[in-house]
């Protein structure tokens, strides 16, 4: 495994108490593989990624347990500078909002080039050539001219391509993309997602793709891990999930994707809201919203049941869900 998160726990200290943002999450991604991590906001998907990237090492967020193995080494047990070296060279992150992640007063060529000057010791001239190269790779038209432009001179989709170019620059083994297309129009979303998937295959990187939208991952993900209230509730190969979900929450997410064959029909929406992380419901955290809930769900926390070799579900009634 390239990246393996094992039983990760993260807490946030707030004025009102302790929020359990991540309550024992395990997932893994191999080189050349894409894992989609799916869930509503507050499900812990971004916090888990931030823990992996080491941008959570500050209060109020605190890792209270677990391991984060990268190429077999537990990042949480390494010295700070060693961790920083691995993360700097081997991992990159793409965020939703390129405009606030890019430096507004540097041309994109200077920002891309800086990566090569700082990390590869290149001359400014060579770094500039590499920057143009990268902009070509992410298919920015007229890259040789546009390399002098500033972030605000690009459209949202083009800026997101520049973010991808920044992430690719040092050819990391792992990229984590947190809602990389959420801010874009639907057509542009698909183009950027396709580009990301194509480059991921070409560079044989591991990709962790965080999204709240099950509709955008169908064609790009190998596996899906669905999170709810800080835990994984289902994890499976993408095709299995689309064929038949083994968790009612996954089913709800699937049924709320707009689909052509159901045009005109009202879109399903999972009723209710995600729980307050300071007061997670007892038993199955999803029970107040679950159309299949029984008495046992209100008292007994479902373990991760093994549905098959490569599939788990945290539902007492996963069989009924799968065949229902």
Footprint of Mg ion (CB under 5 A): 46
Residue 297 makes contact with ligand SF4 by CB under 6 A: yes
Quick one: 126 exposed, middle or buried, by C-beta within 10 A (0-12, 13-18, 19+)?
Answer: middle
Is the CB of 69 or the CB of 292 nearer to ligand SF4? 292
Q: Which stretch binds ligand SF4 (CB under 6 A): 50-58, 74-82, 164-172, 284-292?
A: 284-292
Return the residue matching tokens 């994984």.
Answer: 232
Q: Is 113 left (phi over 0), alpha (psi -120 to 50) or beta?
A: alpha
Is the CB of 7 or the CB of 300 nearer to ligand SF4? 300
Closest residue (Cβ) to Mg ion? 46
Q: How far is the CB of 102 from ligand SF4 (least distance, A)?
A: 41
Q: Which of residues 254-283 bind ligand SF4 (CB under 6 A)?
A: none
Q: How many CB atoms lie within 10 A of CB 303?
A: 10
- Residue pair 122/169 in contact (Cβ under 8 Å)? The answer is no
Q: How far is the CB of 221 from ligand SF4 (least distance, A)?
A: 22
Q: Is the dihedral of CA 275, 277, 279, 283 positive or negative?
A: positive
Q: How far is the CB of 56 from ligand SF4 (least distance, A)?
A: 28
**Which of residues 206, 302, 312, 322 is near ligand SF4 by CB under 6 A?**
302
Residue 316 makes contact with ligand SF4 by CB under 6 A: yes
Q: Give the whole-angstrom CA distance, residue 208 versus residue 197.
A: 11
Q: Which two tokens stand for residue 157?
A: 């989709």
Residue 315 makes contact with ligand SF4 by CB under 6 A: yes
Q: How far is the CB of 40 from ligand SF4 (least distance, A)?
A: 15
**Which of residues 248, 252, 274, 275 is near ligand SF4 by CB under 6 A?**
248
Q: How far is the CB of 300 from ligand SF4 (least distance, A)?
A: 8
Q: Which does 286 bind (CB under 5 to 8 A by kind): ligand SF4, Mg ion, none?
A: ligand SF4
**Can you give the binding site for ligand SF4, defined by CB under 6 A?**
247-248, 284, 286-287, 290, 292-293, 297, 302, 315-317
């Amino acid at each position: 495994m390239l990246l393996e998160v094992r039983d990760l726990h993260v807490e946030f200290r707030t004025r009102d108490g302790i929020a359990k943002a991540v309550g024992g999450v395990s997932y893994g991604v191999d080189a050349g593989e894409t894992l989609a991590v799916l869930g509503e906001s507050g499900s812990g998907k971004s916090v888990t990624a931030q823990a992996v990237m080491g941008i959570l090492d500050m209060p109020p967020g605190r890792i209270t347990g677990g391991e984060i193995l990268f190429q077999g080494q537990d990042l949480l047990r390494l010295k700070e500078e060693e961790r920083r070296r691995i993360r700097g060279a081997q991992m990159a992150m793409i965020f939703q909002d390129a405009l606030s992640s890019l430096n507004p007063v540097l041309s994109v060529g200077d920002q891309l080039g800086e990566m090569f000057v700082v990390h590869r010791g290149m001359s400014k001239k060579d770094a500039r050539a590499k920057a143009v190269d990268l902009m070509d790779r992410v298919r920015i038209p007229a890259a040789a001219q546009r390399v002098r432009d500033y972030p605000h001179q690009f459209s949202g989709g083009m800026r997101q391509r520049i973010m991808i170019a920044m992430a690719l620059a040092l050819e990391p083994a792992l990229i984590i993309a947190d809602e990389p297309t959420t801010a874009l129009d639907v057509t542009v979303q698909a183009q950027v997602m396709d580009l990301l998937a194509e480059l991921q295959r070409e560079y044989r990187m591991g990709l962790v793709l965080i999204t709240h939208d099950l509709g955008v991952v169908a064609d790009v993900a190998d596996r899906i891990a669905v999170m709810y209230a800080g835990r994984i509730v289902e994890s499976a190969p993408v095709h299995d999930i689309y064929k038949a979900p083994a968790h009612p929450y996954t089913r709800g997410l699937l049924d709320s994707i707009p689909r052509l064959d159901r045009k005109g029909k009202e879109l399903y929406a999972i009723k209710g809201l995600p729980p307050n992380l300071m007061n997670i419901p007892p038993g199955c955290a999803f029970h107040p919203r679950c159309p299949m809930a029984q008495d046992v769900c209100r008292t007994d926390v479902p373990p991760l049941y093994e549905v098959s070799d490569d599939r788990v579900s945290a539902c007492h009634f996963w069989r009924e869900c799968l065949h229902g």
